[in-house]
Amino acid sequence: MVRSRSAAAREAHHSRYRDLESLRWGRLAAAARFDSRNLARSAVAAEVGPHRSCCRSIDEETRALLLASLAQVGPLYALEKEGGFKRGDERGVAFATKRLAAGAAAVRDMIVAAWLDSANTPVGYPMVNVRDIESGKVRATRELFGAD
C-alpha cells in the first residue's frame, strides 16, 4: 500500500524547496550585482592574453578546462566565506577578473581551433576536404555538391 503525504507535509516540502530556490536566486543576483559594480571589461580583456594553440582534441581540451575550473571551486567558496566578494574588495575583483579571462580565452581558443580544423571537413559527393578546394587541388563545381 502506497502512502500519500498529507497536504501539510507536501506544503512543508514545497516551502523548503521555495526557500532553497530563493536563496539560490538571491546568491545569483548578489553575484550579478558584484560583477556589474566591480568588474571592468578592460581589466578582463587585459588578463585574456594571446591565443594558445594546442595539440589536444576538443574532448581533452574540454576535460582540462573543466578540471581547471573545478580546482577553483574551493578557493571561490573560501573567498566568499571571508567576505572577498563584498563591494570594493580587491580579492574578489581579482578572482572574478581572472576566472572571466580564463573563460574568455578558453572559448576563443576553442573557436579558433574549430575554425582551423574546419578545413579538414569533408563536403560534397564524392567527399573532398575543404582544404583541397581552397588549395585548388579539387575544383568546386555544382556537380560536386549535388543536392546539397
Give the pTM: 0.66
Clarify whether residues 34 and 54 are in a common domain.
no
| 115 and 81 together in one domain | yes
Distance CA 84, CA 81 (A): 7
Does residue 140 share a domain with residue 99?
yes
pLDDT tens, position by position, for the chain (148 residues)? 455 667 776 666 656 556 555 555 555 555 656 666 778 889 999 999 898 887 788 889 899 999 999 999 999 989 988 988 887 789 999 999 999 999 999 999 999 988 888 888 888 888 888 899 889 998 888 887 776 5
Number of domains into which the chain is organized: 2
Check whether residue 33 and residue 81 sit in a common domain: no
**Are 8 and 46 in the same domain?**
no
Domain span at residue 32 reads: 1-38
Looking at residue 147, its pLDDT comes to 64
DSSP assignment of 94-114, as one string?
HHHHHHHHHHHHHHHHHHHHH
Q: Strand, coil or helix: what is 60?
A: helix
